[in-house]
């Protein structure tokens, strides 16, 4: 059987490989603690579940949904963006429902990238950006994120010859995997860069609601002129602990949103209407549960950073996301240290190389396991590194 050339160009999905290794150890009876995947362990808030259950019992929701999403859901998205970011959106032309933001991010290169076109991809960055580009037969061009600049790219370092031909620029702040954040001044620079080179900015804003100590990450669309050059993707997965529900949305430049909608009408039939009803409940209902979950992740962040620093690791304190981006100890690369922790401590972490070459000296830890399991993992890591965990974690 001959695979298409585009399939031969993409690697196995990083998290699928981690799942395979974890399953093999569990089959041997090893108690494995998984801190590798950003899948919240906390449940979806009850009022969202109740909305789904009620809507699913209504036969009217059992038919095909509108391709672009129900108008009620698109209005809920527009209303939420207005309240949260002060961004005004036309729900009919500037909002599109997605079967999870990953689906939309994966499809956007199909709309704007021709074979051989360069696509600017954050390095390190969420693997889907580069893989989606390869599937569209584009050329992913890594844009280094510089730790000395707070993991922001130096836009002036992008060669003119590349920028002139580039069609799309993938960005993501708050950032997965680094936890880095960006301010509106940086986004204004991105708008100017995109205008100069006629590039579509694709901003993945999945983690905007997971931030600590009163910090409120901005939307790219808040930057003046961003609606002219950008499309932003968001998801209910992390904010409302709805990863398995598969509901997200794209907003922004109406030409980009409508072009993506045209593609989707040809390849999928939209998201189950009852799930969109639940999405409306999430976006328009009480937000107390979000604040409670973020407070839990903040406590986990504080506990984990304290414990890992005591174990001798140089762990930055992120302002947002539920990830820790950690330089590996001397003598290891990211794959070697991740394998060491899996084999000798029974702890799954993600090797940074899976996010690009700039991640080769890092691992990512996700704080999406129960508190006691995170504490146990930190203790195991400390014991493995020869530094007992602090008493409070035992």
The CATH number covering residue 196 comes to: 3.40.640.10
Residues in a beta bridge with 128: none
Residue at 393 is within a domain? no
Task: Judge if 215 and 132 occupy the same domain.
Answer: yes
Burial class, 23, CB count within 10 angstroms (exposed 0-12 / middle 13-18 / buried 19+): exposed
What three-state secondary structure class fits 38?
coil
Nearest to 392 by CA among 299, 320, 319: 299
The stretches in the chain having pLDDT less than 50 are 389-394
What three-state secondary structure class fits 258?
helix
Distance (Å, rounded) from C-alpha 319 to C-alpha 169? 24
Distance (Å, rounded) from C-alpha 231 to C-alpha 199? 11
Write down which residue in 251, 284, 317 finishes a domain. Answer: 284
Q: Which domain holds residue 22?
A: 5-44+288-386
The whole-number pLDDT of residue 390 equals: 47
Task: Judge if 244 and 335 occupy the same domain.
Answer: no
The whole-number pLDDT of residue 391 equals: 43
Write down which residue in 246, 261, 284 finishes a domain. Answer: 284
Residue at 89 is within a domain? yes
Distance (Å, rounded) from C-alpha 120 to C-alpha 140? 6
Residue at 392 is within a domain? no
Task: Judge if 273 and 136 occupy the same domain.
Answer: yes
The whole-number pLDDT of residue 394 equals: 40
Task: Judge if 198 and 223 occupy the same domain.
Answer: yes
Three state DSSP letters for 277-301: HHHHHHHHCCCHHHHHHHHHHHHHH
Residue at 391 is within a domain? no
Residue at 379 is within a domain? yes
Distance (Å, rounded) from C-alpha 255 to C-alpha 253? 6
Write down which residue in 250, 284, 318 finishes a domain. Answer: 284
Contact 126, 172 (CB under 8 A): yes
Burial class, 142, CB count within 10 angstroms (exposed 0-12 / middle 13-18 / buried 19+): middle
Domain count, the chain: 2
Residue at 367 is within a domain? yes
Residue 250 DSSP class: E
């Amino acid at each position: 059987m001959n695979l298409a050339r585009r399939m031969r160009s993409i690697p196995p999905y990083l998290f699928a490989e981690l799942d395979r290794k974890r399953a093999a150890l569990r089959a041997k009876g090893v108690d494995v603690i998984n801190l590798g995947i950003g899948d919240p362990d906390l449940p979806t808030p009850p009022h969202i579940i109740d909305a789904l259950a009620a809507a699913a019992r209504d036969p009217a929701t059992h038919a095909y949904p509108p391709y672009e999403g129900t108008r009620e859901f698109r209005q809920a998205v527009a209303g939420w963006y207005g309240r949260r970011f002060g961004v005004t959106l036309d729900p009919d032309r500037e909002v599109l429902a997605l079967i999870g933001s990953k689906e939309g991010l994966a499809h956007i290169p199909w709309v704007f990238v021709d074979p051989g076109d360069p696509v600017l991809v954050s390095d390190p960055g969420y693997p889907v950006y580069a893989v989606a580009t390869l599937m569209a037969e584009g050329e992913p061009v890594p844009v280094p994120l510089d730790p000395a600049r707070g993991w922001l790219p130096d836009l002036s370092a992008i060669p003119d010859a590349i920028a002139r031909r580039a069609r799309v620029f993938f960005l993501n702040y708050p950032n997965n995997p680094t936890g880095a954040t960006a301010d509106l001044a940086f986004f204004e620079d991105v708008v100017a860069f995109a205008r100069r080179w006629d590039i579509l900015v694709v901003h993945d804003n999945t983690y905007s609601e997971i931030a600590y100590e009163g910090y409120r990450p901005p939307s790219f669309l808040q930057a003046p002129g961003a609606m002219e050059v950008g499309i932003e993707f968001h998801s209910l997965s992390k904010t409302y602990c709805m990863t398995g529900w598969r509901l997200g949305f794209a907003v922004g430049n109406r030409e980009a949103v409508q072009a993506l909608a045209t593609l989707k009408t040809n390849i999928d039939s939209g998201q189950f209407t009852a799930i969109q009803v639940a999405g409306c409940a999430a976006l328009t209902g009480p937000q107390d549960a979000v604040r409670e979950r973020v407070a839990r992740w903040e406590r986990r962040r504080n506990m984990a950073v304290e414990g890992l620093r005591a174990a001798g690791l140089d762990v930055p304190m992120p302002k947002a996301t539920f990830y820790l981006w950690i330089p590996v100890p001397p003598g290891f690369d990211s794959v070697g240290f991740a394998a060491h922790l899996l084999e000798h401590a029974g702890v799954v972490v993600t090797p940074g190389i899976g996010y690009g070459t700039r991640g080769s000296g890092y691992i990512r830890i996700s704080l999406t396991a129960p508190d006691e399991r995170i504490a146990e993992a930190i203790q195991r890591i400390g014991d493995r590194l020869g530094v007992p965990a602090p008493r409070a974690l035992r």
